[in-house]
Amino acid sequence: MAQSAEHVLDHLELFRGPEYQQMLDKKKMFEDPREPAEVERIKEWTKTPEYREKNFAREALTINPAKACQPLGAVFASVGFEGTLPFVHGSQGCVAYYRSHLSRHFKEPCSCVSSSMTEDAAVFGGLNNMIDGLANSYNMYKPKMIAVSTTCMAEVIGDDLNAFIKTSKEKGSVPAEFDVPFAHTPAFVGSHVTGYDNALKGILEHFWDGKAGTVPKLERRPNQAINIIGGFDGYAVGNLREIRRILELMGIQHTILADNSEVFDTPTDGEFRMYDGGTTLEDAANAVHAKATISMQEWCTEKTLQFVAGHGQDVVSFNYPIGISATDDLLVALSRIGGKDIPEQLARERGRLVDAIADSSAHIHGKKFAVYGDPDLCYGVASFLLELGAEPTHVLSTNGNKAWQTKMAALLAGSPFGQSCQVYPGRDLWHLRSLLFTEPVDFLIGNTYGKYLERDTGTPLIRIGFPVFDRHHHHRSPVWGYQGGLNVLVKILDKIFDEIDKKTNLLGKTDYSFDIIR
Amino acid sequence: MSLATTQSIADIRARNKQLIEEVLKVYPEKTAKRRAKHLNVHQAGKSDCGVKSNIKSIPGVMTIRGCAYAGSKGVVWGPIKDMVHISHGPVGCGQYSWGSRRNYYVGTTGIDSFVTLQFTSDFQEKDIVFGGDKKLVKVLDEIQELFPLNNGITIQSECPIGLIGDDIEAVSRTKSKEYGGKTIVPVRCEGFRGVSQSLGHHIANDAVRDWIFDKLEPNGAPKFEPTPYDVAIIGDYNIGGDAWSSRILLEEMGLRVIAQWSGDGSLAELEATPKAKLNLLHCYRSMNYISRHMEEKFGIPWCEYNFFGPSKIAESLRKIAAYFDDKIKEGAERVIEKYQPLVNAVVAKYRPRLEGRTVMLYVGGLRPRHVIGAYEDLGMEVVGTGYEFGHNDDYQRTAQNYVKDSTLIYDDVNGYEFERFVEKLQPDLIGSGIKEKYVFQKMGVPFRQMHSWDYSGPYHGYDGFAIFARDMDMAVNSPVWKKTKAPWKETPRAKLLAAE
């Protein structure tokens, strides 16, 4: 018996001992397993160009996608408003999934309710669920606003949110003047970034365009403020705070819309804050008067920006700005639109990032990278890699479209380091597996699921993306701006040095290169 | 230490009753009436816990429950390692449930094992409008081509499938024939069916019956020589290796485990189970259906057991042994004796650090009752418990064998109720899920996830008990809980003393 009270063995070690190994060997006779040689043959076959061709010929099957569904993005955006409870109309299991998913990434609570529709609602529609649900949520959780979105069930049966909310108010579920913005967020269209876009647009539309016909539309009186939209972002906590710091340094009056940097980073001090921080409802309404709206993620905000532009504002979008040039572009745009100079402090921060890259670039230069994730994140990471003299080789986005592909291709074409890179919209991580076997790279950048690729192909994974379940707290530090660029640089360098050490630490064999100074 | 232990049973009962009254005040009248039936204070001697269960959740209250798909794909089918499980419909369901249940298995993932892959038909609008059967046909073909060593395929329906009138059964039959009788199992576990995960378990059990058992050759030769000691482990999902630390005890006492349902399980094991002499049922809730079916159809008796904590383990080993001859009965005694020194050492080390501490549970399946014994073995007291998706037979078992007088019972509890209960009862530890974990930790209450074992485990068996004890100790006695208040702020309120 290996177990003992002095040194308790858990799953990491317990099963490696002879007792368990013999037991598992004996279990095989009941499993009717494949011949080991056959398993080996197929395993090797999956690494070949021939397999890759079959893999890329897939038309219907998706394996290990790097995307989630719309309502997740809707919930993520909704909790970024003060006192707002996301309410997802449809089956209840979905809400359990969104809450778990976000909690596993942020290591934070995520409050959200469902209208718990079941078979009868599938037949008769979910109106009664909406009526009861809004009344219960309002009484129990005392929100300032309830932001409604939908699961695919409600979308398939065609529930009309606008009419349902109106009826619910007539029935007294919530006061007539209580804010209940809504967005239809079908899971079978787009991805979580689409849901973010739809939910945010729904909320702005509610405040700006007369609250579903119940009050006059707001008349825009332009002021000097700038609205900022972060987009769906696993680093929202760190990134939104960094953007706020930059805007404050520049002295630009601003509103961060859907600011969930507080609610996903509350203190442990004896109090559970179901709601915390967030864009105030007043600020959300007044955001109509801003002179411009800046989106940090173009493909998270296509409809929202179109809506905002329709109200007469300038709109500018970025693609997850990481590194020197991307931050330069952001600051120059902020300065131009906000009419403020870029302070010396930011110039010094820029210089420090350049300094750090100069110190370290010899270790990164020429290294090949595969990158996957949301479309904007891929763009931001790839553009930073180009600045570092690294060579992005495969860039893949399951929820990227043709327009994304074109823009990515243009970025890569503009750099000598991007010449050998291919862009893959609409592909999944099983495609990427084939790519990593047939055209290997030095490092992989992606979310937690990339660890399966790391295991299968031996490509070291640098975790940048969403979700990151198996490493803690990285979301608290920014990846945007010069400071964020520094964080990303360190993440990449740490992995590079760890890999060099791993490859040079055999005593008396390879350890002549086990250098103490690098 | 919490206040709860300093009060008499009568005081606790009165407090808990009052607490329920207070909590119900927040609701609109209709909701209060409905919720009142799910909350109660257990009275010793009663045959159940006096709550209604397995009833629809109320809209808008923040139920913690999931859906039928979660019960089928996430719980019952997902762990079968040599079959490909398709999340059939839009991308989300499969994505959120991808790899999160920690169903351990041994196999070459992506080649002959597929548990931690996310296969989905990723429905788009056109699939909703024109139906998804054609796409499903293609999905099955592509799986066959790219994963030739899969031993079978299941189709796990997401909400839209049942709403758009797809005929996944017809597709399954046709493709099975085309692939020479391949096992292809359509499962109607659309998320809107039923009131929780529970119906998904039932539907998944029925699918095993209809699409695996009913297709077996009635007189087919067994693939191994049967023995009088062949048993199957039913309802153990091998979370963190639970089924392994259970199997080792059964084998040490002389039994032969011919199948694991479904953690680290395979299609061959499912097919072989009708040859078992006894089915050992751990998670009654999720797999009683198929156990009853095997009893009726194949005459296999089934026996519930509990491998959490040494008291229940010993009781269970003897209960199981009673179905067999003296050789096995002696084997059970030998196993109990062998592990007694480990049990003694674990209790000696951890009980003094946990004695008298109170626990509140809110979990699914078997755990709201099954883990109580393990806590008691460590001197801890469970002061409140409830089931996410239990039925009345779960509450009967709880009342008759597990909970103490005046324990607070909450069925399908929601965020609001659970927080109020915790505020009032001030437990020293909460065991629940990921959605609850951070809420209560913010409140300064130590917490362990009791679905995933908080990324630890196994917790089953004697080996698991040592890990369970270590984990509960590290949660309750972590120094961090003494740091939740800044020293310059006022004295913490009573509830913050929970971890003192």
Q: Which regions of A348-453 does DSSP assign to beta strands (E)?
A: 368-372, 391-397, 422-425, 443-446
Task: Work out the average pLDDT over B25-39.
Answer: 97
Task: Mark yes or no for CB contact B438/A111 under 8 Å.
Answer: no
- Window B:226-265, CB contacts with A under 8 Å: 240-241, 244-245, 247-248, 251, 257-260, 264
Condensed to tens digits (0 to 9), the pLDDT of residues A293-328 reads: 999 999 999 999 999 999 999 999 999 999 999 999
Instruction: Give the separation between CA A99 and CA A114, rounded to whole angstroms.
Output: 11
CA B462 to CA B248: how far, in whole Å?
Answer: 10
Distance in Å, alpha carbon of B270 to nearest chain A alpha carbon: 9
For residue B289, the distance in angstroms to the closest alpha carbon of chain A comes to 22
Residue (of B36, B21, B415, B28) closest to A141 by Cα position: B415
A-contacting residues in B 292-321 (Cβ below 8 Å): none
Q: How many angstroms separate the CA atoms of A231 and A158, rounded?
A: 27
Element (H, E) at A62: strand A62-63
Give the number of other CB atoms < 10 A from CB of residue B144: 16
Task: For residue B275, give the nearest of B220, B204, B202 by alpha carbon.
Answer: B220
**Do residues B464 and B313 make contact, with C-beta atoms less than 8 angstroms apart?**
no
For A95, the token pair is: 């809400």
Question: Residue B178, exposed/middle/buried by CB under 10 A (0-12, 13-18, 19+)?
Answer: middle
| A145-150 vs A84-89, strand pairing mode | parallel
Q: Which band of pLDDT confidence, cut at 50, 70 and 90, is reported for residue B495?
A: low
Predicted confidence (pLDDT) at residue B405 exceeds the cutoff of 50: yes
B465-490, pLDDT tens digit by residue? 999 999 999 999 999 999 999 999 86
> Which H/E stretch holds residue B323?
none
**Over 80: is that where the pLDDT of A487 sits?**
yes
Q: Given CB atoms, is A93 within the 8 Å cutoff of chain B? A: yes
**Stretch A354-369: mean pLDDT:** 98
A96 touches chain B (CB under 8 A): yes
Please provide the DSSP assignment of B79-110 as one string.
T-TTEEEEEESSSHHHHHTTT-S-B---S-BT
Question: B-chain residues within 8 Å CB-CB of A129?
Answer: 59
Report the pLDDT value the prediction gives residue B6, as an integer from 0 to 100. Answer: 60
User: Beta-carbon neighbour count of residue A333 at 10 Å?
Assistant: 18
CB atoms within 10 A of CB B488: 5
B76 DSSP assignment: I
Backbone φ/ψ region at B99: left (φ over 0), alpha (ψ -120 to 50), beta: left
Interface touch B496/A270, C-beta < 8 Å: yes
pLDDT of residue B1: 41
Work out the average pLDDT over A25-43.
97
Cβ neighbours of residue B177 under 8 Å, at least 6 residues apart? none
The Cα B132–Cα B89 span in angstroms is 8
Closest in A90, A100, A267 to B96, CB measured: A100
Within 10 angstroms of residue B499's Cβ, the number of other Cβ atoms is 21
Percent of chain A beyond pLDDT 90?
Answer: 100
Rounded Cα–Cα distance for residues B224 and B90 (Å): 41
Partner B contacted by A97 (CB < 8 A): yes
Q: How far is B377 from chain A (nearest CA, A)?
A: 15
Nearest CA distance, A143 vs chain B (angstrom): 12
| pLDDT tens string B95-135 | 999 999 999 999 999 999 999 999 999 999 999 999 999 99
Q: Are B158 and B71 in contact (CB under 8 A)?
A: no
Instruction: Note the pLDDT tens digit of each residue in A102-144.
Output: 999 999 999 999 999 999 999 999 999 999 999 999 999 999 9
Token pair listed for B403: 């909970």
| Residue A495 neighbours by CB under 8 Å, 6+ apart | A443, A460, A461, A462
B69/A contact by beta carbon, under 8 A: yes
Strand partners, A297: A319
Sheet with strand B119-120: strands edge to edge:
A62-63, B119-120, B83-88, B152-157, B184-187
Are A30 and B258 inside 8 Å of each other by CB? yes
Are A11 and B124 in contact (CB < 8 Å)?
A: no
CA–CA separation, B166 and B136 (whole Å) = 10
Using CB atoms, which residue from B65, B164, B195 is nearest to A156? B164
pLDDT of amino acid B494: 53
Q: Residue length, chain B? A: 500
Across the range B330-344, mean pLDDT stands at: 98
- Say yes or no to pLDDT of B221 above 80: no
Give pLDDT tens digits for A417-426.
Answer: 999 999 999 9
Task: Give the mean pLDDT of chain A.
Answer: 98
pLDDT of A398: 98
Residue A331's pLDDT is what? 98
B26 touches chain A (CB under 8 A): yes
Residue numbers of A annotated as active site: 152, 156
CA A411 to chain centre: 21
Name which of B109, B473, B103 is nearest B283 in CA terms. Answer: B103
Q: Round to whole Å and give the CA distance between A364 and A367.
A: 6
How high is the ipTM of this complex? 0.97
- Residue B47 contacts A, CB cutoff 8 Å: no
Question: Residue B499's pLDDT band (boundaries 50, 70, 90)?
Answer: very low
pLDDT of residue B217: 86
User: How far apart, in whole angstroms, are the C-alpha atoms of residue A434 and residue B110?
Assistant: 12
Residue B409, Cα to own-chain centre: how many angstroms?
18
pLDDT band at B220 (very low <50, low <70, confident <90, very high): confident
Contacts of B143 in chain A (CB under 8 A): 61
**What's chain A's length in residues?**
518
Give me the phi and psi of B304, to 5 degrees please.
Answer: -75, 145
Specify the pLDDT at position B219. Answer: 77
Chain A residues lying within 8 Å of B247, measured CB to CB = 23, 27
pLDDT band for position A163 (cuts 50, 70, 90): very high
B441: contact with A, CB 8 A cutoff: yes
**Chain B window 139-198: which residues touch A at a Cβ cutoff of 8 Å?**
139, 142-143, 145-146, 148-149, 151, 158-160, 162-164, 191-195, 197
Structure tokens at A122: 């599938």
Residue B500 — pLDDT band, cuts 50, 70, 90? very low
Looking at the predicted structure, is the pLDDT value of residue B151 above 50?
yes
Which residue from B57, B259, B419 is facing A30, i.e. has the nearest CB? B259
Model pLDDT for residues B423-467, shown as the tens digit of each residue: 999 999 999 999 999 999 999 999 999 999 999 999 999 999 999
Per-residue pLDDT for B491 more than 80?
Answer: no
- B34 touching chain A per CB within 8 A: no
For the segment B390-416, the average pLDDT, to the nearest whole number, is 97
DSSP H or E run through A168? helix A161-170
Angstrom distance (rounded) from CA A381 to CA A378: 5
Structure tokens that stand for A376 in this block: 């904007």
Report DSSP state, residue A215: S
Whether the predicted pLDDT of A259 surpasses 50: yes
- The pLDDT, as a whole number, for residue B8 is 92
Burial of B348 (0-12, 13-18, 19+ CB in 10 A): exposed
Share of chain A above pLDDT 70, in %: 100
Tokens of B109: 């993932």
Residue A508's CB: how many other CB atoms inside 10 A? Answer: 6
Residues of B in contact with A26 (CB under 8 A): 251
Q: From residue B494, how far is each of A90, B2, B54, B475, B490 by CA, in Å?
A: 40, 9, 36, 19, 12
Residues from chain B contacting residue A271 (CB–CB below 8 Å): 442-443
- Reported in sequence order, the residue ranges of B263-417 that DSSP labels E, i.e. its strands, are 278-281, 302-304, 358-361, 381-385, 408-410
Residues of B in contact with A130 (CB under 8 A): 59
Query: Torsion over CA of B484, B488, B489 and B493, rounded to 10 degrees?
Result: 60
Please, is A8 exposed, middle or buried when counting C-beta atoms within 10 Å of its C-beta (0-12, 13-18, 19+)? buried
Which sign, positive or negative, has the C-alpha torsion A465, A471, A475, A477? negative
Q: Closest Cα to residue B24, out of B8, B7, B40? A: B40
> Could you tell me which residue, B6 or A368, shows the higher pLDDT?
A368
Cβ atoms within 10 Å of A503's Cβ, excluding its own = 11
| pLDDT value of residue A377 | 98
What is the distance in angstroms between the Cα of B490 and the nearest Cα belonging to chain A?
12
Select from A488, A395, A475 the least CA-distant residue to A232.
A475
- The interface residues of chain A toward chain B in range 209-248, judged by CB-CB distance below 8 A, are none
pLDDT score, position A226: 98
DSSP conformation letters of A280-312: -HHHHHHGGG-SEEEESBGGG-HHHHHHHHHTT
